[in-house]
Amino acid sequence: MNILITNDDGIYSEGIIKLAEAVEEFGEIVIIGPNRERSATGHAITMHNPLRIEEITFLGTKYKIFAINGTPADCVKLGVEGVLSQRPDLVLSGINKGPNLGTDVIYSGTVSAAIEASIYGIPSIAFSLAGFKNYDFELAKDIVKKIVDIVIKDDILKKSIFNVNIPVCSREEIKGFKITKLGFRRYKDNFVKRMDPRGRVYYWLSGEVVEEVCDDNSDICAVRNKFVSITPIHFDLTDHVLFEKLKEYKLTI
């Protein structure tokens, strides 16, 4: 099995190497990541500038590793179409430092890399540690291994994208795995207004999460209750209910 690994925290982030270590028993690994942090770039791709790629080495690692000056989606596109001699059988993204929950997946470079793989018909999984400190990558590696082992053995599961969020807590506190749907996250006070030394106004993106009413089936609620959240997602944004409803209007020119 050929496995492509990427992320949005950048090629030098600890999580990308830990993800490779977790799955090295499953096949040949190539890592292609952004040469700097590209968090919250969503599904952006580079169109108006050249993409440059550099093979790099980390002391003590045995993987082929490439850094590119692009986004996570670029990493997958360039990997599939320009760098890899063989099409990957699986694309993994992460392990992200921070959650990718609910509607935030729209902004997530981590999740967008997995979605890009699915557009090519390649099964993919995005992994995130859903906290902002005290990351336990060894625990995350064990969870990654369990999920990947299940996905690669089931032909139905291999047709999907999975977004996995791992609560940041001790191994003993984790209550298990939960299959979830995307929750809803919104923010208040999104921008801080400031003045630069020349007297010009600028804005700094900030914001405070407004907690949703907890839906037991949502990824947000699952992680809050110390479950590993596994959410199957899809890039089809069609509202299928309205699709059928709108056909009733029989619009004409």
Structure tokens at 151: 């996905």
Lowest mean pLDDT among 67-81, 94-108, 211-225: 211-225
**pLDDT single digits (tens) 197-234:** 999 999 988 777 776 667 889 999 999 999 999 999 99
- Cβ atoms of 104 and 184 within 8 Å: the answer is no
- What angle do the packed helices 14-23 and 137-152 form, to 10 degrees? 50
What pLDDT shows up at residue 12?
A: 94
How many other C-beta atoms lie within 10 A of the C-beta of residue 174?
15
Neighbouring C-alpha atoms within 13 Å toward the C-beta of 50 = 2
| Location of structure tokens 């804005």 | 203
Q: Give the Cα separation of 52 and 49 in Å (integer).
A: 9
Residue 57 CA to chain centroid, in angstroms?
24
Query: CA 16, CA 96: separation in Å to the nearest integer?
Result: 8
* Residues 145-199: tens digit of each pLDDT: 999 999 999 888 877 899 999 999 999 999 999 999 999 888 776 788 999 999 9
Residue pointed to by tokens 């999104």: 190
Token pair recorded at residue 101:
């929950």
The upper half-sphere exposure of residue 76, i.e. CA atoms within 13 Å in the direction of its Cβ, equals 34
Q: Looking at the DSSP assignment, which residues form a beta bridge with residue 130?
A: 167
Strands 201-205 and 191-195: antiparallel
pTM (2 decimals)?
0.92
What mean pLDDT do residues 125-149 have? 95
Which residues are registered as beta bridge partners of 92? Answer: 5, 125
Give the Å distances, CA to CA, from 110 to 34, 42, 83, 233.
11, 8, 20, 13
Residue 177: CA count within 13 A, CB half-sphere: 12
Domains by residue range for the chain, with CATH: 2-183+214-249 (3.40.1210.10)
Q: Give the model's pLDDT for residue 175.
A: 95
CB atoms closer than 10 angstroms to residue 97: 22
